[in-house]
Copies of this chain bind each other. A is one copy, B any other.
């Protein structure tokens, strides 16, 4: 289940009800902390960033014991979240009933914080090469840039990968002007929220972290009254 970008307010009402109805909640410690007020009296399975399979397996074991369990992801569980892994692991136990509850993914919460840059076709690309080779990431950046998609960049950097956002922007710069309007949002809906509009050449040198999502505009994107907007083409 996806808990949205930030606090409990950003979660759907359905997601909140599902969490309230569960006896066990599993998730990365940061996302557990963000929904702590809902977790009184529940068993919590919390592991660090790279313990995904262990955490999901522990959750499935609780479910096999007959407990109502939910595995939470920040944003939307289905977009770079835990939904796929849970379904893969649960497939080994055909009787297990798994429901996926959607949330607001970072592309959408970042877009809303910056204005309306995604109003038209867009591509979501993760810059993490932990589970994907950089060659595939490069191919997708090239294709998305070439076809004039607005691009939402997930996981633009981590402590171990400081240079990926710079490398990605250099690839996109082969197809787009350095003046292309872009933006970043960090910690949307949480303490330390930061939103910043900048151009593509500035984005290449922005010091992103793992709580940042970046949006690269396309040929139609512009800055209007301090907001990033990709017009859909309505005549008015």
Contact = CB atoms under 8 A, between A and B. Distances in A.
Interface of A: 2, 4-5, 8-14, 16-17, 52-53, 56-57, 76-81, 83-91, 94, 98, 100-105, 108-109, 111-113, 115-126, 131-132, 136, 139-140, 142-144, 146-149, 224-225, 227, 229-236
- As for how many copies of this chain the complex holds, the number is 2
B102 A111 contact: yes
A119 B83 contact: yes
A91 to B, nearest CB: 4
Contacts of A9: 12-14, 17
B225 A76 contact: no
B231 A84 contact: yes
Contact of A112 (B83, B109, B225): B83
Contact of A101 (B80, B87, B112, B146): B112
14 contacts: A9-B17, A53-B236, A78-B111, A78-B112, A83-B115, A85-B232, A86-B116, A100-B116, A102-B111, A102-B112, A103-B108, A124-B124, A132-B233, A143-B144
B131 A234 contact: yes
A115 B144 contact: no
A102 B94 contact: no
A225 B90 CA distance: 9
B147 A142 contact: yes
Contact of A104 (B98, B103, B123): B103
A57 B147 contact: no
A126 B233 CA distance: 13
Contact of A94 (B77, B105, B139, B225): B225
A10 B14 CA distance: 6
Contacts of A104: 12, 76, 102-104, 108
Best-surrounded residue of A52, A83, A108, A118 (most CB of chain B within 10 A): A108
Nearest to A93: B225
Contacts of A79: 108, 111, 118-119, 122
Nearest to A80: B119
A94 to B, nearest CB: 6
Contacts of A52: 234
A10 B76 CA distance: 13
A225 B84 CA distance: 12
